[in-house]
Amino acid sequence: MNEPPILLDAETRAQEHPADHRAELRLWLRMLTCTNLIEGEIRARLRRHFGVTLPRFDLMAQLEKAPEGMTLGELSRRMMVSNGNVTGLVERLLESGHVERRAHPSDRRAVVVALTPTGRHVFAGMAAAHAEWIAELTAGLAPADVAQLMRLLGRLKSHVKEVAHG
């Protein structure tokens, strides 16, 4: 054997020397299952109880943390979705009267979006229910489990950010 140490791109290497990544794959699939299950349940409950979609709730949740409003770009980054997506979401939330647009004080390219008083009030009710639901769905975990998960996921998150961007 004694193969020479040739550098290959990931695909070629993967096909010729398939390492054992089963544990990591299974972990990834389980993470995906968990988030899909929770997200699906939250989505259904938001629709049933408040007639609102999850993306709109998420957008309002970002705005709620910024009383002065936020630019579309900031929203896009925080929600981790594309710019065009935010444009459309804001458009629909404008129509329903939950958010309003303001001129940016110093940058005429930018648009600031903020919750309306109505939007703020509506969101408060949804957020309280949402918190209860998340607590209900994660009630299978002891406080120590929650802390442990936070720590491990924190480790994962910072590594993924390194690999993906930096």
Partner DNA sequence: GCCTGTTCCTTCAAGTATAAAATATTTTTG
Partner DNA sequence: CAAAAATATTTTATACTTGAAGGAACAGGC
Whether 55 and 40 have beta carbons less than 8 Å apart is answered as no
Contact partner, 114, from its own copies, DNA, none, Cβ < 5-8 Å per class = none
Give, for 100, the enclosing helix (H) or strand (E): strand 99-103
Integer Cα distance of 13 and 5 in angstroms: 11
52 DSSP 8-state letter: -
Closest CB to DNA among residues 63, 89: 89
Closest CB to its own copies among residues 110, 150: 150
- Measured between alpha carbons, how far is residue 107 from residues 49, 77, 89, 116 in Å? 39, 18, 22, 22
- The nearest distance, CB 105 to its own copies, in angstroms, is 30
Give residues 48-67 in contact with DNA (rule: CB under 7 A): 53-56
Chain residues binding its own copies by CB under 8 A are 10-11, 13-15, 18-19, 21, 23-28, 30-41, 49, 80, 124-125, 128-129, 131-141, 143, 145-150, 152-164
- The nearest distance, CB 16 to DNA, in angstroms, is 28
- The nearest distance, CB 142 to DNA, in angstroms, is 30
Integer Cα distance of 37 and 152 in angstroms: 20
